[in-house]
Amino acid sequence: MATVAVLSPSTTPPDYFRIVSPTLKVPSEKSTSIPVGLLAAQRDPLLREIETTVVACNISQPSPAPVGKKTKKAVSAPTLPNEPILEVILHDTVIFPEGGGQPTDTGLIKTSDGRIWSVLQAKRHGGHAVHYVKTGSEADVQSALTVFAAGSIVTASLGKEDFDRRYDHMSMHTSQHLLSALLETRLNLPTLSWSLTSFPSPCYVEVPRGMTVEEIVLIQTEANRLVFEGRRVHTEVEELDRDKNGRSVGKALPSDYTGGVNRVVVIDGVDRNPCCGTHLPSIHNLQLFLLPHTDSMSRSNTTSARLYFLSGPRLIDYLSSTHNFLANTSSILSCGAPLVPERVSQVVEERKKADKRVTDLELELAKHISTALISEAAVGSGNDGYIFKKHVHRTDDGGNPLGFLSAISFAFSDQIANTPYLLILTSTPSAQTTTSTTVVMVVGSDDNLVKSTGEALKSQMAVKGGGKGLKWSGKYNGVWKFGNAVDTLLKSIE
């Protein structure tokens, strides 16, 4: 059967934005700003450009550094540069200010002189949408204040990258409403919070408990059934009434939200949820993919879980990157994609066997080295005051050089009889750089002698380490040039 592509509408349906109060109207006075909740960005989420009027403009003052506990910054909010920024309030705007769990839009403003200014952020101050406009130099500030004078006609717009960002946010936000509604109605799992993460990471909802794979499949199947039906989405607004409620996520209306409206986002036959964010006019093409597990979040008195999801552009990106990973892996393993799991299992098993062979050979080599040391120690054994002192250096590019040195020390201590001894074992990689690590180990028959030798290595060669009893170990970061110094140190020890 041929594949049929159903495209989302390029314009917002006329009945998307619905005023359900007979007395509420969108303000038309150009000298006042339309409150957040009635903005063009919220009335018509697919609108990319609007001609509007400047209501106010001033130079932004940096916010004071927070005192005490740090708060989590808005997800995906671009960082404001350390240069003059203007705060511009417009009569209306297509640039959505951060709110409802949805990050700020970025956008553009074209002024009467033809210049295009970048909007780095938009935030809600009270009931107003404030645009943070990049000016550049101090000289630009004065010209900007002129073209952004109150009453000036400007055009606010979303460029391609700005709209792509908005479309991604809308896709994930509308999908979250659908997901949260089904979790609550089908499994009695309220959404405690949610996070709209930076693209292309999966977003998540936090629920009171973990979910089984069967529950996740149930919700995903039901969500995509509704998606394929193409359920429509619309918004309903009326005068602000803080006593109104419905299914909501996280906090209630912000206490500083003034002069606005009650706004409810409706997915036909599925959900009614108070929200100020931007949403697509249909859930068509918002196929939902739930990662088939939840991450537990343990807190002092509760245990919740995060369920991760993807939709819209993020789902396409996830499928593309996953396909590329699989294709690259199958190419490396010289097999077809369906055989990758089996081949990976074979490689892992072969690696385990190879690691065991290396370990066995290292133990055998360690015994051989220790036997040679025992023979060397026997030469002077029996002489009064004799201490067998030896520096053994290895060049080792293996993954566990300290383990190999430990194997030598264990084998030696098992074979040595009553001869007093002091060994310094060192191991460096074959190609040394300023970030290389040299492993150092000191073992001996006298704990005081081991301790004093370790302290000498620390003070004379900057080796970092410590130990207890008859063993001391440490490491040196950088190029190891102390072979002769170690030999000299051993000769000085009585």
Check residue 294 and give its pLDDT.
86
Check residue 398 and give its pLDDT.
84
Domain boundaries, the chain: 23-60+74-162, 165-326, 349-492
Residues 6+ apart with CB under 8 A from 276: 36, 37, 42, 99, 100, 263
pLDDT 10s digits, 67-119 = 555 555 445 567 788 888 999 999 999 999 988 789 999 999 999 999 999 99
59 with 141: CB under 8 angstroms? yes
User: Could you give the CA distance from residue 144 to residue 136 in angstroms, rounded to a whole number?
Assistant: 10
CATH architecture for segment(s) 23-60+74-162:
Beta Barrel (2.40)
Q: What's the full length of the chain, in residues? A: 494
Backbone angle region of 76, left / alpha / beta, with phi > 0 → left and psi within -120 to 50 → alpha: left
CA 38 to chain centre: 33
Check residue 417 and give its pLDDT.
77
Check residue 74 and give its pLDDT.
44
User: Could you give the CA distance from residue 132 to residue 125 in angstroms, rounded to a whole number?
Assistant: 12
Q: Which residues pair with 125 in a beta bridge?
A: 128
pLDDT 10s digits, 368-413 = 999 999 988 888 776 777 889 999 999 999 888 999 999 999 999 8
Structure tokens at 402: 């300290």
Residues 6+ apart with CB under 8 A from 61: none
Residue ranges of the chain with per-residue pLDDT less than 50? 1-7, 73-74
CA nearest 24: which of 238, 322, 295? 238
Residues 6+ apart with CB under 8 A from 194: 101, 176, 180, 203, 204, 205, 206, 249, 250
Q: Under CATH, what is the fold of the domain 165-326?
A: Threonyl-tRNA Synthetase; Chain A, domain 2 (3.30.980)
Check residue 5 and give its pLDDT.
42
Residues 6+ apart with CB under 8 A from 420: 386, 387, 388, 444, 445, 446
Handedness of CA 40, 41, 47, 51 (dihedral sign): positive
Check residue 243 and give its pLDDT.
62
Answer CATH for 349-492 from 3.10.310.40, 3.30.559.10, 1.10.760.10, 3.30.930.10: 3.10.310.40
Check residue 9 and give its pLDDT.
58
